[in-house]
Structure 1
Amino acid sequence: MARLDKVKNMTGLVECYGKSSKLRELVNLVVVGGYIDVNKSKDKEELAEIEKMHDLMKQYNMHGQFRWIPAQMNRVRNGELYRYIADTKGAFVQPALYEAFGLTVVEAMVSGLPTFATCHGGPAEIIEHGISGFHVDPYHPDQMATLLVDFFEQCQKDPSHWNNISDGGLKRIYERYTWKIYSERLLTLTGVYGFWKHVSKLERRETRRYLEMFYILKYQDLVKSIPQAVDEQH
């Protein structure tokens, strides 16, 4: 579930799946992202990825095993997609060549999905390998396929294995990545910044921009929802 950019490596995941006969015997693959029709995109990079995706589907004859869903803008529907895959005891794979943070990783984990995510970037910090998910190296697709095969084969032998990784992911998110925890850290950062500015009398441009972004994206709308005080004397 991502943009159809080269760095997101969606076609890399499809190729990895197509080449692995063992993985194809165990599970189907669902990809969510981009346009399916090349005539609907004007981005050269996305056009190349769309064409590559169609070529891979033909090359590996994945009819009946692979479903490509166009990018979804409805957040509720996205949440239902995560839940549907979780209800069928599936897994989520984030195969990006590099990912700064990994919002879809957090979304998948909080939906209870065992998550396999790139070891390059933010997801490497979010996931504890083998406990709350798994790290995969997109530059070694054979190893990624083997890790997925091992997981699903173990789940077949012991269904509790799926639940253990699912529970580990949920625990990790609730311990580290809730809005409550984030806001507390932000308040701590604000306090440190205020003290630092007081003693140094210098501007910290990056932190100020960050706080402004957080206010615009999160708190500005919340402020509007607070009812105004009413003077009871009138």
Structure 2
Amino acid sequence: MLRTMNLKDRNKPIIFSMARLDRVKNMTGLVEMYGKNAHLKDLANLVIVAGDHGKESKDREEQAEFKRMYSLIEEYKLKGHIRWISAQMNRVRNGELYRYICDTKGAFAFYEAFGLTVIEAMTCGLPTIATCHGGPAEIIVNGVSGLHIDPYHSDKAADILVNFFEKCSEDPSYWDKMSEGGLKRIYEKYTWKLYSERLMTLTGVYGFWKYVSNLERRETRRYLEMFYALKYP
């Protein structure tokens, strides 16, 4: 089975990704991008966590993604280059996965426009390469705290990954720079402490404002939306 298949060269760094096996998560798109670029396959292995190999899915979309994944692995001869692990809900184990990839100087790649895993990976110090659309475009400062790729231009996305691993090979401090940049970004913008402080400020101001004002519900909602945008840019 693919989930237990060994990688041929375990000394190579790892491109890692973890998400549901839904079309919107575009895990098959990531596998196809990797498979098409022979140089990228030479530079790094691909490890993905998605789907459940232990039971057949009842979801038609997931069934289709399973079939596509197997087809891509065969088409691009990825056996020995890819490790496909079943998804699981053990957060401690997931955390260890991030740390292992980090310790082996790998990178996290994400091809979909939303996902908490981008922040999880950056929190572990793992250089993160994610889509230039949606949430990751705001989370990552391109070239500083990670790298942006465009899933609609897979050839260019693969080139960005190739360039990243080539730079890391030539200058190991480049990996450290990207890792530290991601951590700095998280500590500045995305910690629970920062979130809770903003939430408490929002709650306090709203409570006082509601007590002294007499606006209608629609006006209240517009005010809250404006204030939320100011506190959570």
Please tell me whether the aligned partners of residues 90 and 114 of structure 1 are also in contact (alpha carbons under 8 angstroms). Answer: yes
Which among 155, 163, 167 is matched to residue 150 of structure 1? Answer: 163
**What fraction of aligned residue pairs are identical, expressed as a percent?**
64
* Relative contact order higher in (CA < 8 Å, ≥ 6 apart): 2
Which among 180, 204, 214 is matched to residue 200 of structure 1? Answer: 214
Correspondence for 2:70: 54
Residue 170 of structure 2 corresponds to residue 161 of structure 1: no
Correspondence for 1:7: 24
Please tell me whether the aligned partners of residues 23 and 148 of structure 1 are also in contact (alpha carbons under 8 angstroms). Answer: yes
Amino acid at match of 2:131: T
Correspondence for 2:9: none
Correspondence for 2:42: 25
Number of equivalent positions: 205
Runs of 4+ in 1 over 6 A off after TM superposition: none
- TM-score normalised to structure 2 length: 0.83
Residue 93 of structure 2 corresponds to residue 77 of structure 1: yes
Please tell me whether the aligned partners of residues 137 and 144 of structure 1 are also in contact (alpha carbons under 8 angstroms). Answer: yes
Shift of 1:40: 1.6
Residue 198 of structure 2 corresponds to residue 182 of structure 1: no
Which ranges in structure 1 are unaligned for 5 or more consecutive residues? Answer: 208-234
Shift of 1:205: 6.6
Residue 60 of structure 2 corresponds to residue 44 of structure 1: yes
Shift of 1:193: 2.2
Which ranges in structure 2 are unaligned for 5 or more consecutive residues? Answer: 1-17, 225-233
Please tell me whether the aligned partners of residues 35 and 50 of structure 1 are also in contact (alpha carbons under 8 angstroms). Answer: no
Pairwise CA RMSD:
1.9
SS in 1 for 2:213: helix
| Partner deviation per Cα, 1:21-59 (whole Å, 9 max, x = no partner) | 11001000001011236x520001100000000000100
Shift of 1:2: 0.5
Shift of 1:174: 0.7
Shift of 1:72: 1.5
SS in 2 for 1:116: strand
- TM-score normalised to structure 1 length: 0.83
